[in-house]
């Protein structure tokens, strides 16, 4: 049995915690830090294979000292610049998801003849009537694949393992690695590192980035950034418990509560500081232009160059709840769209998303967040829907910057599924002809990128192979589940209430 003094940073051992069923369990955890308060030791632990937001300080009574594993070095994998970096289960999982954009069938696929799409001969006698919907899937090869949608009452033969349907994984998730942007690197104890940042002795960039990805390069992870440093945040009438590290000034991290003005997001040391600030702050809504209002919901567009202080404070707050994003103080290349709820006291922030003014990767979202008090109420999908409404006005298709957080991935998968199923189920036959649609048309209608459309069909396991064609099989469970979900989805964006004029940032000399 190990002594408490022998437990150091990097050790692994079981730690007592309560699960969702209010039962005790002993998951394996890693000791990230040890501190001594009045002769009592506290240990900051990360539960292996659990989300980082569950990390916490524990006392020695919750440690199983009989099963202590000494610190071990993680296997190292080649880095982007020829170096090496620690392996990560999260990174391995993300690698396994890179499937949607690299599919190509074995051997040369059959080429569709020119002219009208051929009609499927239908299912075997006695199995019902097919309602075909022709969908074109674009592969890397210059050919087209036809896909039909089968009505729920129509049984479809199970494809063999060697059929082309086996090319579609059931849990596919479209991910495309962000291209490395040219630029220099910056390192800072607070901000970490990123490929688009720049070396600087004072931790600030000497010039704004002309483009930038907010995806966090996980090779910069260290003990400091792996530990939550803010205990509690008071924002208006809410008190929030941060999930992750955020680079607020170090002198504020020891405070029991960090006080923020809910309108300008400036932070203060104490409640008295906040009260003095509120007597001077004349903001009752986010700075910028209100481009949408319906009922009590409003959206404000904020330019990261014109409202730099607010944008920086927004990034600091958001980083408390986003793990896969890094943080920049040069917010010039970004626009921020803040969703608010209105009452007699003003416009209260609910969530936001940011996007690059110019994105070479067709990203329409860089970061997206619904604050914890407003989660599980439909606001996340409303933010996503609004981002695609902006893309429709711009005449573009868009996709969120990858990788997404766990909650972000769930929200996007749900939104994509509901939006695409809404299109497919709304198609009607005209003039006795069977309805037809292509992947391109779905993408144009919804502004969802083609790769995301295909990955969603794979995730829903809708694609099968029948009589030489790909078919989308909409089962009764899928249809009923979609109808139930749409009944619960009360909050929707009304395009008539959107007053937005896109700008061509490529023609502007300065942002």
- Which sequence positions are flagged as catalytic? 401
CB-based contact 379:350 (threshold 8 Å): yes
Distance CA 44, CA 62 (A): 12
8 Å CB contact between 221 and 324: no
Q: What are the Cα distances from residue 28, in Å, to 54, 196, 243, 291, 406?
A: 13, 36, 20, 49, 21
What's the CA dihedral at 157, 162, 165, 169 to 10 degrees? 120
SS3 104: coil
Q: Give yes or no for a contact between 454 and 100, defined as CB atoms under 8 angstroms apart.
A: yes
Q: Are 311 and 304 in contact (CB under 8 A)?
A: yes
**How far is the C-alpha of 444 from the C-alpha of 162, rounded, in Å?**
33
Contacts of 162-166 spanning 24+ positions with Cβ under 8 A: 163/465, 164/105, 164/109, 164/465, 164/470, 165/463, 165/464, 165/465, 165/470
Are the C-beta atoms of 258 and 278 separated by less than 8 Å? no
Using alpha carbons only, how large is the chain's radius of gyration in Å?
A: 26
3-state helix/strand/coil string of 334-371: EEEEEEEEEECCEEEEEEEEEEECCCCCCEEECEEEEC
């Amino acid at each position: 049995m190990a002594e408490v003094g022998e437990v150091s940073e990097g050790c692994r051992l079981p730690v007592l915690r309560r699960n969702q069923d209010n039962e005790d369990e002993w998951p394996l955890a890693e000791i990230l830090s040890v501190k001594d308060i009045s002769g009592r030791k506290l240990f900051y632990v990360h539960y292996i294979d659990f989300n980082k937001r569950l990390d916490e300080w524990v006392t020695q009574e919750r440690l199983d000292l009989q099963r202590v594993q000494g610190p071990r070095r993680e296997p190292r994998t080649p880095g982007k610049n020829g170096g090496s970096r620690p392996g990560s289960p999260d990174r391995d999982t993300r690698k396994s998801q890179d499937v949607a954009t690299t599919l190509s069938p074995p051997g040369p696929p059959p080429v569709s003849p020119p002219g009208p799409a051929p009609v499927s001969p239908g299912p075997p006698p006695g199995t019902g009537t097919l309602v075909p919907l022709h969908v074109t899937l674009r592969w890397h090869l210059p050919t087209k694949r036809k896909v039909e949608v089968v009505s729920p009452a129509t049984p479809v033969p199970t494809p063999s393992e060697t059929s082309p349907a086996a090319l579609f994984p059931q849990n596919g998730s479209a991910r495309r690695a962000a291209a490395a942007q040219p630029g220099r690197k910056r390192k800072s104890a607070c901000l970490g590192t990123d490929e688009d940042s720049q070396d600087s002795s004072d931790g600030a960039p000497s010039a704004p980035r002309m483009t930038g990805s907010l995806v966090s390069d996980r090779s910069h992870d260290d003990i400091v950034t792996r530990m939550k440093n803010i205990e509690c945040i008071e924002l208006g009438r809410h008190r929030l418990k941060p999930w992750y590290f955020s680079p607020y000034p170090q002198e504020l991290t020891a405070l029991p509560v960090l006080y923020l003005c809910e309108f300008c997001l400036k932070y203060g040391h104490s409640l008295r500081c906040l009260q003095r600030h509120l007597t001077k702050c004349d903001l009752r809504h986010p700075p910028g232009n209100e481009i949408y209002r319906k009922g009590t919901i409003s959206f404000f567009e904020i330019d990261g160059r014109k409202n730099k202080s607010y944008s920086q404070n927004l990034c600091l707050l958001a980083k408390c709840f986003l793990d896969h994003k890094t943080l920049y103080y040069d917010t010039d290349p970004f626009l921020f769209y803040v969703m608010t709820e209105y009452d007699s006291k003003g416009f209260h922030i609910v969530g936001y998303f940011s996007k690059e003014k110019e994105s070479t990767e067709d990203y329409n979202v860089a970061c997206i967040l619904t604050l914890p008090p407003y989660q599980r109420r439909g606001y996340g999908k409303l933010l996503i829907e609004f981002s695609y409404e902006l893309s429709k006005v711009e005449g573009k298709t868009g996709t969120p910057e990858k990788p997404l957080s766990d909650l972000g991935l769930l929200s996007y998968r749900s939104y994509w599924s509901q939006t695409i199923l809404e299109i497919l189920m709304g198609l009607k036959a005209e003039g006795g002809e069977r309805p037809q649609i292509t992947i391109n048309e779905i993408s144009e209608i919804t502004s969802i990128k083609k790769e995301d459309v295909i990955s969603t069909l794979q995730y829903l396991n809708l694609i099968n192979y029948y009589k030489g064609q790909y078919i989308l099989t909409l089962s009764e469970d899928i249809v009923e589940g979609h109808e139930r979900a749409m009944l619960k989805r009360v909050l929707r964006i009304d395009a008539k209430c959107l007053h937005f004029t896109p700008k061509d940032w490529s023609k502007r000399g300065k942002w």
